[in-house]
Structure 1
């Protein structure tokens, strides 16, 4: 176990080539779950937790860790399961999502595995726990579930999606974009809708895709059927998440820039990977911009900038 805990901080730099590393863990029972190591700051034995009055019931308490007070969320409760009762023998995964740091209380931590995004698949349709899945994969003939952390965090602390009035009322956007659309690719339904709602006050039309592969197929289809020269005749801008099943945002961007019909389109990577950030990879794949989730004014301003420059 010590080897796993010591290695997490050393391995958070992995990005690119459509690969990722998953930290495997369990909540209650045998089911394995995975979280991208790139979002993990640290893994530690659960410290003493201080309960906060009137806090969300999924927040088991706060802990003072390395000079910072961090809320600790019972991940099992947050996805509709039983509470993790034996906190002394449990672990906390310290993560950074959407510009915030939080701890996830889990029953046990196993190991780190290196995966290709092509082996990470969209979740099966269904109710209950499956509504909290953003992807699934198979490791050692067992299903590993990857949770939609953005949905969990949005339910505990809802995100503001309203754009400031001054940005929303700027009339240049309609003139610049015309009847073109903004294309949004994100595997989290919550994140897709957050982006869509943030852009609605600008009066733009949007089209959504659930992952990079689906986005690439659809963009090529639009370029072939609706455009005489290249994609920007119909799509003004692509806003893409980085982490997505089957094809990640880096690979999607590289594929777009390698296709003459798609290459002129501006690509903004919009991701919850708000901690350590690999600028060299963004430049390598040819993305035009990077925005950490989720600030509606920053997103709207970036959209206006790149549509105007298009």
Structure 2
């Protein structure tokens, strides 16, 4: 009963955020003056550093393993992954769950949770800063500090390795079925592109929700002007849940409220695979949900959602 009650409270709290274009960030430090953040949706808990057992042949960036409530978890040193050499003691573990993995991130210290508007979350390029493979976005706190939001999926992939995209059966060539997808992660866009290319499906993409919505509105206007069925230009839309400037929940709501996109399925493709997140997607009209970085699952979902 207590677990069910906590789950319902979590769903209600996240429901208040979904559709509001807001997110909550857990702020932490890695031994420098920089402030880093991770979406609270990916955080299971924060605890003091536990005894870490070093084991042979660990990948670079993995400090060792810990035992937490009967589970053995890898401990990833974020400072090492970001090539930040310092001797500051690391006092906290951030236990995270995403992309079907549970792991502990070793950090110097944890600060607090802040709520920010996705509109205030920008890609590094949009504010004139060079793109780091490990930094997916930046935002500014009320006191003027910049927060670097880590692409933890990219970090996890570099530590444990990327899954290969298998050979896939080509879809019928007489039905091109164009796909539009939006994701702010470089690695996620790469994997989606590989899957769609293997399926021989034409595709367009965007790097955040606002860019996606502007491109989709342009597609809809072009279809009207050319008196074409919009499904000839986009037959399926894939959206990430977490994106700068406009998240996937708000983007989906815009799509579903625009009659020009009627009948075009929207699939949420996200590393946030909890019951709560799936329920939030349903509330804004998502037609299906598929976890990130599982190429065969993504291919199966895409092919099942496309028209015959």
Q: Distance in 2 between matches of 1:280 and 1:11?
A: 11
TM-score w.r.t. the length of structure 1 is 0.88
User: Post-superposition shift, 1:33?
Assistant: 0.7
Q: Distance in 1 between matches of 2:282 and 2:276?
A: 12
User: Post-superposition shift, 1:230?
Assistant: 5.3
Count of equivalent residues: 292
Report what 1:248 is aligned to.
247
Counterpart check, 1:219 vs 2:216:
yes
8 A Cα contact 1:32 1:143, kept in partner: yes
8 A Cα contact 2:165 2:295, kept in partner: yes
Counterpart check, 1:130 vs 2:132:
yes
Match of residue 40, structure 2, among 25, 37, 43:
37
Match of residue 193, structure 1, among 190, 205, 230:
190
Q: Distance in 2 between matches of 1:161 and 1:261?
A: 36
Unaligned runs of 5+ in 2: 1-8
Q: Distance in 2 between matches of 1:25 and 1:247?
A: 24
Matching of residues 118-197 of structure 1 within 5 Å: 118-124=119-125, 127=130, 130-139=132-141, 140-163=143-166, 165=167, 168-169=168-169, 171-175=170-174, 178-197=175-194
8 A Cα contact 1:11 1:37, kept in partner: no
Unaligned runs of 5+ in 1: 1-9
Query: Structure 1 residues 230 and 282 mapped into 2: Cα distance closer, same or farther (>3 Å)?
Result: farther
Query: Structure 1 residues 113 and 91 mapped into 2: Cα distance closer, same or farther (>3 Å)?
Result: same
RMSD across aligned positions (CA): 2.1
Q: Distance in 1 between matches of 2:73 and 2:23?
A: 26
Report what 2:258 is aligned to.
259
User: Post-superposition shift, 1:158?
Assistant: 2.0
Q: Distance in 1 between matches of 2:269 and 2:278?
A: 13
Q: Distance in 1 between matches of 2:164 and 2:206?
A: 19
TM-score w.r.t. the length of structure 2 is 0.89
**Hey, which bits of structure 1, 4+ residues long, moved more than 6 A?**
none
User: Post-superposition shift, 1:276?
Assistant: 4.5
Counterpart check, 1:55 vs 2:58:
yes
| 1:182-230 Cα deviation digits (max 9, x unpaired) | 1110000111111111222111111121001001100111111145365
8 A Cα contact 2:61 2:77, kept in partner: yes
Q: Which moved more, 1:226-235 or 1:144-153?
A: 226-235
